[in-house]
Amino acid sequence: MQLHKLAKSQRIEAEAWSALEKSIIYYQGRPIGTVAAYDNSTEALNYDQVFVRDFVSSALLFLIKGQTEIVRNFLEETLKLQPKEYQLDAYQPARGLMPASFKVVSHHGEEYLEADFGEHAIARVTPVDSCLWWLILLRAYVVATKDYCFAYHPEFQNGIRLIMELCLRNRFDMYPTLLVPDGACMIDRRMGIYGHPLEIQSLFYAALRAARELLICEGNQSIIAAIDNRLPLLCAHIRQHYWIDLNRLNAIYRFKGEEYGKTAVNLFNIYADSLPYYELDKWLPTNGGFLAGNVGPSQMDTRFFSLGNLMAIISELATEEQSTRIMNLIEERWEHLVGDMPMKICFPALEGEEYRIVTGCDPKNIPWSYHNGGSWPVLLWMLAAAALKTKKTYLAQKAIELAEERLHADSWPEYYDGKKGRLIGKQARANQTWTIAGFLLAKEIIANPAYLPLVSFEELPQELVSRACEFEINSYDTTMF
Amino acid sequence: MQLHKLAKSQRIEAEAWSALEKSIIYYQGRPIGTVAAYDNSTEALNYDQVFVRDFVSSALLFLIKGQTEIVRNFLEETLKLQPKEYQLDAYQPARGLMPASFKVVSHHGEEYLEADFGEHAIARVTPVDSCLWWLILLRAYVVATKDYCFAYHPEFQNGIRLIMELCLRNRFDMYPTLLVPDGACMIDRRMGIYGHPLEIQSLFYAALRAARELLICEGNQSIIAAIDNRLPLLCAHIRQHYWIDLNRLNAIYRFKGEEYGKTAVNLFNIYADSLPYYELDKWLPTNGGFLAGNVGPSQMDTRFFSLGNLMAIISELATEEQSTRIMNLIEERWEHLVGDMPMKICFPALEGEEYRIVTGCDPKNIPWSYHNGGSWPVLLWMLAAAALKTKKTYLAQKAIELAEERLHADSWPEYYDGKKGRLIGKQARANQTWTIAGFLLAKEIIANPAYLPLVSFEELPQELVSRACEFEINSYDTTMF
CA A121 to chain centre: 19
Interface test with A, best of B161, B168, B170, B273 (most A CBs within 10 A): B170
How far apart are alpha carbons A111 and A99 in whole angstroms?
18
Q: Which residues of B touch A362 (CB under 8 A)?
A: 257, 271, 298
Average pLDDT, integer, range B163-176: 93
DSSP letter assigned to residue A236: H
- Does B409 contact A at CB distance below 8 Å? no
Cα B226 from chain centre: 23
**Residues of chain A numbered 122-141 and touching chain B (CB < 8 Å):** 122-126, 128
Domain membership of residue B336 (yes or no) is yes
Secondary structure of residue B183 in the 3-state scheme: coil
Task: State the DSSP code for B257.
Answer: S
On chain A, the residues whose CB falls within 8 A of the CB of B231 are none
| Partners of residue A89 in chain B, C-beta under 8 Å | 170, 226, 229-230, 471
What pLDDT band is residue B301 in, cutting at 50, 70 and 90?
Answer: very high
Measure CA B118 to chain center.
18
Distance from CA of A239 to the nearest CA of B (A): 16
Q: What is the separation of C-alpha A110 from the centre of its chain, rounded to a whole number of angstroms?
A: 35
Tell me the chain B residues in contact with residue A471 when contact means C-beta distances shorter than 8 Å: 89-91
| Angle value at C-alpha A178, between A177 and A184, nearest 5 degrees | 135
Query: What is the residue range of A229's domain?
Result: 2-476
Which among B121, B172, B273 is the nearest to A184, CB-wise? Answer: B172
Q: B103 — contact with chain A (CB < 8 Å)?
A: no
Contact B299 A190 (CB under 8 A): yes
* From A90, A121, A170, residue closest to B471, measured CB to CB: A90
Q: Are residues A229 and B357, on separate chains, in Cβ contact within 8 Å? A: no
A105–chain B Cβ distance below 8 A for any pair = no
CB contact under 8 A, A122 and B260: yes
| H or E element, residue A417 | strand A416-417
Length of chain A: 481
CA distance A171 to chain B (A): 5
Torsion of CA B475, B477, B478, B481, to 10 degrees: -130
CA distance B422 to B438: 19
What does the alpha-carbon distance between residue A111 and residue A192 come to, in Å, rounded to a whole number? Answer: 39
Nearest to B113 by CA among B69, B19, B48, B59: B48
- Residue A192 is classified by DSSP as S
Chain A residues close to B274, C-beta within 8 Å: 356-357, 360-361
Strands A50-51, A299-305: pairing is unpaired
Say which amino acid occupies A347. F
A224 close to B (CB below 8 A): no
**pTM of the full structure:** 0.95
Q: Which of A171, A194, A471 faces B194 most closely, judged by CB atoms? A: A194
> Rounded distance, CA B291 to CA B307, Å?
11
Cβ pair B194:A195 closer than 8 A: yes
- Among candidate residues B319, B320, B308, B331, the one with its CA nearest the CA of residue B382: B308
- Residues 260-299 on B with a CB inside 8 Å of A are 260-262, 264, 267-271, 273-274, 296-299
Nearest CA to CA, how far is A389 from chain B (Å)?
30
- Minimal Cα–Cα distance from A8 to chain B, Å? 39
> Which residues, in sequence order, are CB contacts of A464 under 8 Å at separation 6+?
A228, A231, A232
Contacts of A391 by beta carbon, 8 Å cutoff, 6+ apart = none
Contact map slice: A 81-100 vs B, CB within 8 A: 86-95, 97
- pLDDT band at B406, cuts 50/70/90? very high
User: Could you give the number of structural domains in chain B?
Assistant: 1
Residues of A in contact with B183 (CB under 8 A): 297
Give chain B positions within 8 Å (CB) of A124. 174-175, 267-268, 297
Query: B312 and B334 in contact (C-beta within 8 Å)?
Result: no
For residue A266, give every residue at least 6 positions away whose Cβ sits within 8 Å of its Cβ, in sequence order, or none.
A255, A256, A257, A259
The beta strand positions in A181-332, using DSSP E, are: 243-244, 290-296, 299-305
- How distant is the Cα of A363 from the closest Cα of chain B, in angstroms? 8
Q: What are phi and psi for residue A111, nearest 5 degrees? A: -95, 140
B303 domain-assigned: yes
Shortest CA gap A16–chain B (Å)? 30
Note down pLDDT in tens along chain A; length 481 residues: 688 889 999 999 999 999 999 999 999 999 999 999 987 655 555 567 999 999 999 999 999 999 999 999 999 999 999 999 988 888 889 999 999 999 999 999 899 999 999 888 777 899 999 999 999 999 999 999 999 999 999 999 999 999 999 999 989 988 999 999 999 999 999 999 999 999 999 999 999 999 999 999 889 999 999 999 999 999 999 999 999 999 999 999 988 877 877 778 888 899 989 999 999 999 999 999 999 999 999 999 999 999 999 999 999 999 999 999 999 999 999 999 999 999 999 999 999 999 999 999 999 999 999 999 999 999 999 999 999 999 999 999 999 999 999 999 999 999 999 999 999 999 999 999 999 999 999 999 999 999 999 999 998 887 776 555 444 433 444 333 3
Size of interface A-B (CB pairs under 8 A): 247
CB contact under 8 A, B90 and A234: yes
Q: Among candidates B69, B46, B58, which has minimal Cα distance to B115? A: B46
Spell out which residues of chain A touch residue B101, defining contact as CB-CB under 8 Å.
none
In whole angstroms, what is the distance from residue B141 CA to residue B275 CA?
A: 42
Interface contact A120-B262, CB threshold 8 A: yes
Is residue B481 in some structural domain? no
d(CA A164, nearest CA chain B) in Å: 9
CA-to-CA dists, residue A22 to A17, A19, A49, B230, angstroms:
9, 5, 14, 45
Contacts B300 to A, Cβ<8 Å: 360
Chain A, nearest residue to B126 by Cα: A172
In this prediction, residue A48 carries a pLDDT of 78
Identity of the residue numbered B204: F
Q: Is A183 on the interface with B (CB under 8 A)?
A: yes
Q: Inter-chain contact B95–A170, Cβ cutoff 8 Å?
A: yes
Of B89, B257, B296, the CB nearest to A229: B89
Rounded to the nearest integer, the mean pLDDT of chain A is 92
pLDDT for res B260: 74
* Segment B319-325 long-range contacts (CB within 8 Å, at least 24 positions apart): B319/B239, B319/B480, B319/B481, B320/B459, B322/B239, B322/B243, B322/B289, B322/B291, B323/B386, B323/B389, B323/B390, B324/B390, B325/B245, B325/B287, B325/B288, B325/B289, B325/B290
CATH code: domain of residue B456: 1.50.10.10
Cβ within 8 Å, pair B298-A89: no
Interface probe, candidates B208, B298, B350, B474, chain A, greatest A C-beta count within 10 A = B298
Distance from CA of B263 to the nearest CA of A (A): 9
Return d(Cα B83, Cα A228) in angstroms, integer: 22
CB within 8 Å: A190 and B123:
no
Residues 6+ apart with CB under 8 A from B300: A360, B252, B268, B270, B274, B275, B292, B294
Could you read off the pLDDT of B326-361 as tens digits, one per residue? 999 999 999 999 999 999 999 999 999 999 999 999
Contacts of A174 in chain B (CB under 8 A): 91, 118-119, 124-126, 181
Q: Which residues of A touch B354 (CB under 8 A)?
A: 353, 357
Task: Quickly state the pLDDT bin for B42 (edges 50, 70, 90).
Answer: low
Say whether pLDDT at B74 is over 80: yes
The string of DSSP codes covering A241-280 is HTEESHHHHHHHHT--S---STT-SSTT---GGGS-HHHH
Q: How far is B447 from chain A (nearest CA, A)?
A: 39
Q: How far is CA A81 from CA A159, A210, A421, B321, B473, in A?
A: 10, 20, 37, 43, 21
In a domain, B125, yes or no: yes
Does the residue A481 lie in any domain? no
β partners of residue B300: B295
Asked if A138 and A210 touch (Cβ cutoff 8 Å), the reply is yes
Residues of B in contact with A299 (CB under 8 A): 182, 190, 360
Contact residues on chain A for B356, CB-CB shorter than 8 A: 273-274
In a domain, B323, yes or no: yes
The pLDDT value given to residue B270? 92
**pLDDT tens column, B267-293:** 889 998 999 999 999 999 999 999 999
Report ipTM for this prediction: 0.93
| Mean of all residue pLDDT scores within chain B | 92
Contact across the interface for A124 and B174, Cβ inside 8 Å: yes
Q: Is B301 helix (H, G, I), strand (E, B) or coil?
A: strand
